[in-house]
Amino acid sequence: MIEIRKIQTTNGHRIDLCLKSEEHRIIDAQNLMLFPALIDPHVHFRTPGTEHKETWETASLAALAGGVTTVFDMPNNTPSCITKERLEQKKALVQTQLERVNIPLRAYFYLGADASHLQEIPKVADQIIGLKIYMGSSTGDLLMNDPAACEEAFRLAAKYDLMVAVHAEDEELMIERQQKYGKETNPKFHSLIRDSEVAAKAVKFAIDLAERHGTRLYLVHVSTEKELDLIRKAKAKRLPVYAEASPHHLFLDEEAYTEMGTKALVNPPLRSKQDVKALWEAVQDETIDTIGTDHAPHTLEEKMRPFGKAPSGFPSIELYFPLLLDAYHKQKISLEQIVSLTHTRPQEIFKIPINDDVVLVDLEKVKKVDNKQLHTKAKWSPYDGWSLKGWPRYTILAGRLFDLESL
């Protein structure tokens, strides 16, 4: 039994809590606050194929450090997870890696939509958290820019009651802008090649398909005011459309290119201050349903390559919670909103089982982000040097207590 004594809840009460466990631990939690463990509905843990960037051994430690006990892993692996056979192979590899570190992380998996393998969808409908469609090219080779194939994927997803998660960037518009800016060497042009029109056109197409077929639609890493306007209209029509924001689009903007160079590359790209402001407003009015980190590690060496050769993506899962807690202290978000975005809504939207995983937080702790202390294999973050107030102290997963100061 794990006994948690005198812990404060987010609504201001103090309680004693007992959790079933093979361990017997007593925690004096007078200076801590209780949260449900976080769900990260958008991660890239790089198994199989690019384990030099990350493995589930390192990523699970990073997740625990960030108060995360449940993750939804994306299918753009090497090879891509687009068939039942590959899904089963991936799950077996993941289980082996988690067993090595003895961390029972709760893992769910997406199947990648591929025009040549749509027949695989019915075979795995009861084994996946959803179907992932890349309407624009990103890391990996999962690109679905054939409208007819996209429509068939939406139809099948509706038939088997699957969520469709969409990376919404229009490939045709990106190609046009690439031709215009392709010779530029400044990474800031990444945000022009993948501008707000690129995102909005793909979002509109996805919403139209969802409405036509009655498909549940989850729009990942929404980042622009134009997308948000379209999503609000869809929600007003009571369509089953849900929106995810990522920390980097909430906490960074285009000015990051000046300091970070190619390290600031991410898909979709960093946006204007106005888009960031619109995203926070969408958090407040609940247009944004969830926050997913889009944890997408690359090595620092890879990120330092010249523009055009450097990959896009940030490692961020272990800073997911501290960034939001710091935003709470800056009065940008409430504790109740954090719980909803990181736990309640993803659980409801994706219909996953309830568990008793919790995180104990030192809400007053101030600490600087230090790349050297990160658990991700990539060992870097766009938030290096940031001073954040509010850090997880203990994570309890499946009755196991993890002391985050000794991970």
The pLDDT score that the predictor gives to residue 144 is: 87
The pLDDT score that the predictor gives to residue 183 is: 87
- Tell me what the mean pLDDT of segment 117-128 comes to: 97
Alpha-helix residue ranges (DSSP H) falling in 160-253: 171-181, 190-193, 196-213, 225-236, 247-251
Among 404, 405, 402, which residue's Cα sits nearest to residue 105?
Answer: 402
Structural domains present in the chain? 37-356 (3.20.20.140)
Contact in structure between 72 and 293 (CB atoms under 8 Å): no
Task: Say whether pLDDT at 139 is over 80.
Answer: no
Alpha-helix residue ranges (DSSP H) falling in 237-319: 247-251, 256-260, 273-284, 300-303
The pLDDT score that the predictor gives to residue 138 is: 67
Can you tell me whether residue 83 is helix, strand or coil? coil
The pLDDT score that the predictor gives to residue 142 is: 81
Q: Say which residues have a Cβ less than 8 Å from residue 282's Cβ, sequence separation at least 6.
A: 222, 228, 231, 243, 245, 288
Among 397, 406, 404, which residue's Cα sits nearest to residue 2?
Answer: 397
Supply 321's token pair: 């919670």
Among 7-21, 58-72, 262-276, the minimum mean pLDDT is found in 7-21
Contact in structure between 351 and 161 (CB atoms under 8 Å): no
Contact in structure between 202 and 168 (CB atoms under 8 Å): yes
The pLDDT score that the predictor gives to residue 351 is: 97
- Tell me what the mean pLDDT of segment 13-32 comes to: 92
Confidence of residue 78 (pLDDT cuts 50, 70, 90): very high
Angle (nearest 5°) at CA 247 between 242 and 252: 125
The pLDDT score that the predictor gives to residue 137 is: 67
Mean pLDDT score across all residues of the chain: 96
Beta partners for residue 14, in sequence order: 8
Confidence of residue 203 (pLDDT cuts 50, 70, 90): very high
Among 19-28, 29-38, 163-172, 200-209, the minimum mean pLDDT is found in 19-28
- Tell me what the mean pLDDT of segment 91-115 comes to: 97
Query: Is 294 tagged catalytic?
Result: yes
The pLDDT score that the predictor gives to residue 140 is: 59
Single-letter amino acid code for the residue at 30: Q
Can you tell me whether residue 402 is helix, strand or coil? strand
- Tell me what the mean pLDDT of segment 131-137 comes to: 88
Confidence of residue 182 (pLDDT cuts 50, 70, 90): confident
Residue 257 burial (C-beta neighbours within 10 Å; 0-12, 13-18, 19+): buried
Q: Say which residues have a Cβ less than 8 Å from residue 207's Cβ, sequence separation at least 6.
A: 217, 230, 231, 234, 239, 241
Task: Say which of 114, 170, 294, 326 is annotated catalytic.
Answer: 294
Which pLDDT tens digit goes with each residue over 220-272?
999 999 999 999 999 999 999 999 999 999 999 999 999 999 999 999 999 99
Which pLDDT tens digit goes with each residue over 328-342?
999 999 999 999 999
